[in-house]
Structure 1
Amino acid sequence: MSPIPLPSPESPWLVADVGGTNARFGLVTAPGGHPGTVAVLAGAEFDGLADAVHSYLADHAGGVRAAAACLAIAGPVNADRYRLTNTGWSGSVGELGIPHVELLNDFEALALALPHLGAGDLASLGGPLPAPDMVKTVLGPGTGLGVAALVPVREGWVPVPGEGGHVSVPAVTGLEIEVVRALRADGMSFVDAEHLLSGPGLVRLRHGLALVEGTPVAPLAAPEIVARVDDSLCARTVEVFCGLLGSFAANVALTLGARGGVYLGGGIVPRIVRRMRESDFRRRFEANLVLSDYLSEIATTVIVAEQPALTGAAAWLAQRVAGREAGVPSSRPPHPFPEADPSVTPATRSAAP
């Protein structure tokens, strides 16, 4: 793969966040710059990733030719190959016709964005301010349930992707256990966390509650469930969702030692911040008979920034260039993406409003 050239208006970096529903694109046109010319394309309108990339460059970016790209993919990546977990898109980045392409898991890119988010990009769900320079983790329900960590090293930060959304569902209360049993009896042989903590998971969770209550209901899409605050079944669905998410977030924090904070992204939680604050989320997060004190010292914060994964993808390319210039092995370059405001410290930029 060719070295990464510096971006310019004529030969920018292409950054993308490719999810199960939408593909988000942007351009970085100067060293240290942040993504601009952002467009969100519906994945269902394209035959694959190459088709979406070419359409964005032609229709939204004036036909510019990208000198390099970093693509965050909602699914496993392996060298130059990708596979989206919740769509049929798969292949090699060689199909894109861009000289240098880096692939990241989408939550790996979201983790890389964490040091570059300001107070206006975040909303607290409880706990102290996130501790600076300690392990951070990010998780988020959307089309699926993503999980990743960000680990501090001497030179900066290292992202650690994973597939933690597919662990067993953290059913704790009697009602949650009944819902899981009902869904299994209804044909789901195994219920993992993503099956209930995602957009499709909200649909399953409402169905499971209806099965437990013995009240058949017509299916509703996830946005309708969230929007129908006066519907008792929909309201209970969101309440159970928040409690489950609290237990799941605690499991992630304990597994990764995320003393630097647990951040929540994805397409659902930023839309229901007030309901999350009023829910059982934080109590469930701290509800551990052995390590409640440990968990009470960990911040839980919602990412409300627009397109943060694009910032993370740009950060990755900037780190690669910085690592090359510093003579650091290219697998893990040293320096973080330059801050827009150098006066912002790790503590203040992680502070929630």
Structure 2
Amino acid sequence: MTGGGSDLSRPWLVADIGGTNARFALIDGASGVPRDIQRVRCADYPGPVEAAASYLAGQQAAAGAAWATPRWAAFAVATPVGSDRIDLTNSAWSFSRAESEAALGLDGLLMLNDFEALALSLPGLGPHQLRAHGPLPSGQGTLAVIGPGTGLGVGGLLDTGRGWHAIAGEGGHATLAAADDFEAEILRVVRAEHEHVSAERLLSGIGLPLLYRALAQVRGEAAEALAAEDIGSRGADGSDALCAATLATFCAMLGGFAGNVVLTFGARGGLYIGGGIVPRFADFFFASDFRARFEAKGRFRAYLEAVPTALIVEPYAALHGAAAAIETRLRETGITTNQGSAA
């Protein structure tokens, strides 16, 4: 990473890479918003270098003589980070950060857990980007975010007094707890297939069909071979009673899990729900037992009652967070982030 030679008149490249899709965008420096957003299927490319190169080639062709190749990038990836090697949890992509940086001709390539990036976006989200149960979170204090997507992500954000510090965790793989005998029976059924039943095992896109089948077995009903999208749409519009019961159970269990995350982080500033699953049935979600189960923590009910919860309806929040990570890194290394300036 050459750092000091970066031309900051160039845009930043940001990406949100999940198990199924990757989203790429350009950001025109500090306080910029994602532009020229493009979503690609991960399965269509050998890895993120090829996907990013294809995206940049398209942008260069569209911009013509005005094109400036990015020198800084940040990729939010749906897997733990910390070493040079990145292996996506729910995708075949496996790659080196350093090799990717070199292949794309970058001065700096930051790798963030996707929920680390999502957490970094939280303070900047406005009312039009959120839908709250009651009052909106203030965006201050300790915050937490969960998100059912292909998997189940968890992140935290701490106000250090010198700036925000994101905590990337793997809380989605924590053991899922039952709140009552009904949920205990569901977990018993699932344990016949899986020795460890994590929260992600049921509260995610890959988990919703399993929850549907387990609920059918507990109820003594026949289950169809349905994808998560079908369960969500049939449940939300009420056209299928078993799908509706599956969604109701999903929301209730997600509420209990979310309350656990808040207690673990001490996230009294707010709990945010991200990911691509819940927005598909948002009205159903807000009418569900999510909030009741979120607060149902016995002696700590009053603690949870005071914590606001909100659904993130901004589809590109992680891209904003990735840009915030670049801005922080450049500031820490003494490079001005004012667009048009160079170090």
Please name the residue that 1:220 is paired with: 226
Paired residues in the alignment total 326
- Structure 2 unmatched runs, 5+: 62-66
Please name the residue that 2:147 is paired with: 140
1:85 equivalent to 2:94? Answer: no
Is the 2:81–2:111 contact (alpha carbons within 8 Å) kept by the matching residues of 1?
yes
Inter-CA distance 129–306: structure 2 relative to 1 (3 Å threshold): closer
Q: How does 1:297-316 map to 2 (within 5 A)?
A: 297-316=306-325
**AA paired with 1:271?**
R
- Structure-2 separation of matches of 1:6 and 1:308: 26
Offset, 1:238:
0.2
1:197 equivalent to 2:196? Answer: no
User: Which of 184, 187, 211 is the matching residue for 1:177?
Assistant: 184
Offset, 1:35:
1.7
Please name the residue that 1:332 is paired with: none
Please name the residue that 2:240 is paired with: 231
- Structure 1 unmatched runs, 5+: 328-334, 339-353
1:36 equivalent to 2:14? Answer: no
Offset, 1:125:
2.4
Inter-CA distance 305–25: structure 2 relative to 1 (3 Å threshold): same
Structure 1 length normalisation: TM-score? 0.88
- Structure-2 separation of matches of 1:33 and 1:213: 51
SS at the partner of 1:85?
coil
SS at the partner of 2:226?
coil
**AA paired with 2:129?**
D
- Structure-2 separation of matches of 1:82 and 1:2: 22
Is the 1:58–1:64 contact (alpha carbons within 8 Å) kept by the matching residues of 2?
no
1:273 equivalent to 2:300? Answer: no
- For residues 242-273 of structure 1, what are the alpha-carbon distances to aligned partners after superposition, in whole Å with 9 as ceiling and x for unaligned? 00000000000000000110000000112222
Please name the residue that 1:50 is paired with: 49
Please name the residue that 1:130 is paired with: 137
- Structure-2 separation of matches of 1:326 and 1:18: 27
Q: How does 1:1-353 map to 2 (within 5 A)?
A: 1-3=1-3, 5=6, 7-8=8-9, 11-62=10-61, 65-96=69-100, 97=103, 98-126=106-134, 128-185=135-192, 187-228=193-234, 229-325=238-334
Please name the residue that 1:342 is paired with: none
**AA paired with 2:265?**
L
Offset, 1:95:
3.0
- TM-align CA RMSD: 2.0
Offset, 1:50:
1.4
**AA paired with 2:143?**
K
Is the 2:30–2:323 contact (alpha carbons within 8 Å) kept by the matching residues of 1?
no
- Structure-1 separation of matches of 2:83 and 2:25: 22
- Structure-2 separation of matches of 1:6 and 1:195: 45
Name the % identity.
45
Is the 2:279–2:313 contact (alpha carbons within 8 Å) kept by the matching residues of 1?
yes
SS at the partner of 2:206?
helix
**AA paired with 1:84?**
L
Is the 1:210–1:216 contact (alpha carbons within 8 Å) kept by the matching residues of 2?
yes
Which deviates more from structure 2 when the two are superposed, residues 298-307 or residues 46-55?
46-55
Offset, 1:129:
3.6
Structure 2 length normalisation: TM-score? 0.90
Please name the residue that 2:64 is paired with: none
**AA paired with 1:115?**
P
Runs of 4+ in 1 over 3 A off after TM superposition: 60-64
